[in-house]
Amino acid sequence: MLGVVLDGDVVIDAWERPTPTGSIADDGRAVLEQLTALLGDVLASRPGAEAATIGVGLPGMLGADGVLLAAPNLLSAQGAAIAPRLEEAFGRRVVLANDADCAAIAEAAVGVARMHDDVLLVTLGTGIGGGIIAGGRLLRGGRGYAGEIGHVVIDPGGPQCPCGARGCWEQFASGTALGRLARDAARAGRLAAVLDEAGGDVDAVRGEQVTRAAAAGDAEALVLVEEVAWWLARGLANLVAVLDPTMIVLGGGLATHGELLVDPVRRLLPGMLEGGRSRPGIEVVLAELGPRAGAVGAALLGRGEQ
């Protein structure tokens, strides 16, 4: 986890702590311990800032009540009342938001989307996270759970998703999805170069290896990336139908070799939209702020900018 101090729009100081990865629910104890230590470091560095609100971004479904309702990537803290307990520990206001929401706030305020009021930020990693800026403001939803875009079902007969549904978008267009496609391909005797890199072990094949191979021009890897890009575009078109953003920002691990995904999405998306090519174009770009986007957005949130 990352803590930052902003001066204006610029990160002038940053601290890092390991994110607890335990899967046994401990009512958030391990996560709160790290968060408290991290925030302690941040606050100790700014003795004049007694009254400042703290902004925190966390992965998962964060309610407006500061409780982490569901958090597949922070399992030990699932169900924990994070915000109230941090407020108690620090004696000041603490505002929480989903980390993709924070990244969207940051990209819209000081990043690639700063000229846009209607932005969809999509983080492509293990799953798909989303942050939505609508009319210049973060779309939070009634309980704070908006933007769970990875769980739009795009094929009810598709693979089982850990969320309980079948055929969620993130089962088709995430790093996990690319890894599954790659293992299927390797098992079927294709993707020799990638399989070599994985030491000949099909089960060790990961999405990262495929994007790396595709970036190096491996034709079989490119086919798989193109398939994931088609699903990515299809899911983005769904969200455009609902939200009508003027810019889509792609971030996360799967977007590391950015143009590999961005190019096919730019090519495919216009033809998938209602109103077709007579509809004004939607910019599809890569995130600009990198791994610090979430922390910067949380700091902006703490400053009351959303």
Contact residues: its own copies, CB under 8 A: 61, 69-70, 79, 116-118, 130, 132, 134-135, 137, 139-149, 151-157, 163-165, 234, 237-239, 241-246, 271-272, 274-276, 278-280
Of residues 200 and 275, the one with the C-beta less far from its own copies: 275
Q: Which is nearer to its own copies, 11 or 153 (CB)?
A: 153
To its own copies, the closest distance from the beta carbon of 289 in angstroms equals 21
Q: Which is nearer to its own copies, 8 or 135 (CB)?
A: 135
CA distance linking residue 109 with residue 259, whole number of Å: 24
- Residue 68: which H helix or E strand, with range? strand 68-70
Q: How far is the CB of 282 from its own copies (least distance, A)?
A: 8
Q: How far is the CB of 48 from its own copies (least distance, A)?
A: 33
User: Taking the complex as a whole, how short is the minimal distance between the CB of residue 44 and its own copies, in angstroms?
Assistant: 36
* Alpha-carbon dihedral 111, 151, 19, 139, rounded to 10 degrees: 40
Cβ atoms within 10 Å, residue 63:
18
Q: Which amino acid is present at 61?
A: M
Enumerate the β-bridge partners of residue 14.
4
> Residue 29 carries which side chain, given as an amino acid letter?
R
Q: State the nearest-atom distance from the C-beta of 193 to its own copies, in Å.
A: 30
Question: Left (φ > 0), alpha (ψ -120 to 50) or beta: where does 110 sit?
Answer: alpha
Q: Tell me whether residue 3 or residue 264 sits nearer to its own copies (CB atom).
A: 264
- Of 160, 222, 148, residue with least CA distance to 191: 222
Q: Which is nearer to its own copies, 246 or 256 (CB)?
A: 246
- DSSP assignment, residue 19? P
